Amino acid sequence: MTKVKIVEVGLRDGLQNETTNLTVNQRFDLLAKLIDAGVKNFEIGAFVSAEWVPQMAVTSKLVKKYLTSPLNKKEFSASVLVPNEKGMLQAIEAGVKEVAIFGACSETFSKKNINCTIDESFERFEAVMKLAKKYKIKVRGYLSTCFGCPFEGRISENKVVELAKRMNDLGVYEISIGDTIGIANAGQVQSVFKKLLKVIPANKLAGHFHDTRGQALVNIFAAYEIGIRTFDSSIAGLGGCPYAPGATGNVATEDVVFMFEGMDVQTNLDLKKLVKTHRWLQPKMDHLLSSKVGRIGLGKL
Ligand code: HMG
Ligand code: MG
């Protein structure tokens, strides 16, 4: 049976852009529910500036609570975002075994999101990679604005390939190709991934689709059709990027699981438990959560 890997980013990409600031205990309970639903690959938070992203300020507490709890399992991939050496040192101090660096394909977005040029961001990543090697920490890479930038518009496909190669050369184990503002269409997704696949194998690539224009699921399907097998998603469709105006949340985990399980593609996630998690989460948030599968449920399935 064909399988896909789903990376749950709700606790990071989701919560970073919500006005409701869940407590450490609520975040931990959410994580416990996700793990109970079969989630094994997830982000816990981000070691970024609390002035830039206040919702991630509790990351260190949440990481410690997770690492010292019975939820913590060796086989899980539990990651935190780090933009620079300072973030990496915090990650090391907290005891994480995996981090993610994040760069962009657009200079303006890079400046707005991490306050540096693309070249400067790669210098910072090199410092992070050095520490990762020393402390045996796995590193995942993100490239944002691969299909369009809120400030610069369309991004050249060659630029995406060039930067993905550059990130791959740093030694990350996987590169997540981000549609930060949910502007991609299925044709563009296949075109960009086909170019990427010429230089980076499918098992080192992931798709990260925000659902701003309702295209995320079809974009995932388009990437799946040409061999991509790892996708990021966010429970209930939480969140977005605070430095990408108008960007809504990632594609919802329960929507992705509904689609793949219906196609007999194994996700190893329990859809009923994901729907229950959505319903547990809804009254805690200050807006209607976007996942239609989560809202409407599974009927008689
Ligand atoms: P900066 O202001 O340029 O940093 O911010 P700086 O080096 O000039 O230092 C200024 C202050 O920040 C200093 O403190 C530093 O110590 C501190 P002070 O001396 O003034 O007290 N500082 C830090 N504090 C905590 N953690 C750190 C850190 N580094 C410096 N790591 C910085 C640069 C990168 C820190 C800032 O721009 C930042 O935190 N940006 C993060 C933005 C962010 O998290 N965006 C969302 C995640 S990306 C995303 O969502 C896209 C993605 O999902 C993929 C997609 O959808 O495409 C991944
Ligand atoms: Mg994102």
**Which CATH number is 14's domain given?**
3.20.20.70
Q: Average pLDDT in the 121-132 region?
A: 98
C-beta of 66 in contact with ligand 1 (< 6 A)? no
Q: Are 220 and 207 a contacting pair, CB within 8 Å?
A: yes
Tokens of 219: 């974009």
Q: Is 301 a domain residue?
A: no
Q: Is 142 a domain residue?
A: yes
Q: Is 288 a domain residue?
A: yes
pLDDT of residue 257: 98
Residue 28 CB partners (closer than 8 Å, separation 6+): 62, 65, 66, 69
Enclosing domain of residue 289? 5-296
Q: Which atom of ligand 1 is nearest to the CA of 146?
A: 57
Percent of the chain with pLDDT over 70: 99
C-beta of 184 in contact with ligand 1 (< 6 A)? no
Q: Is 188 a domain residue?
A: yes
Q: Which atom of ligand 1 is nearest to the CA of 179?
A: 57
Q: State the total domains in the chain.
A: 1
C-beta of 253 in contact with ligand 1 (< 6 A)? no
Residue 149 falls in the annotated catalytic set: no
pLDDT of residue 240: 63
pLDDT in tens, 251-267: 999 999 999 999 999 99
pTM of the predicted model as reported, rounded to 2 decimal places = 0.97
* Nearest-angstrom CA–CA distance, 18 and 247: 12
Q: Does the pLDDT value for residue 271 go beyond 80? A: yes
Q: Average pLDDT in the 79-107 region?
A: 98
Q: Is 274 a domain residue?
A: yes
Q: Does the pLDDT value for residue 243 go beyond 90? A: no
Q: Average pLDDT in the 204-228 region?
A: 97
pLDDT of residue 300: 79
Q: Which residue out of 44, 49, 212 has the highest number of ligand 1 atoms within 8 Å of its CB and is therefore the one to mutate?
A: 49
Q: Is 99 a domain residue?
A: yes
Q: How far is ligand 2, taken at its centre, from the CA of residue 139, in Å?
A: 17
pLDDT of residue 301: 74
* Nearest-angstrom CA–CA distance, 266 and 260: 7
The ligand that comes nearest to the alpha carbon of residue 250 is 2
Q: Is 236 a domain residue?
A: yes
Q: pLDDT category, 245, cuts 50, 70, 90?
A: confident
Q: Does the pLDDT value for residue 145 go beyond 70? A: yes
Q: Is 125 a domain residue?
A: yes
C-beta of 142 in contact with ligand 1 (< 6 A)? yes
Q: Indicate the SS3 state at residue 79.
A: strand
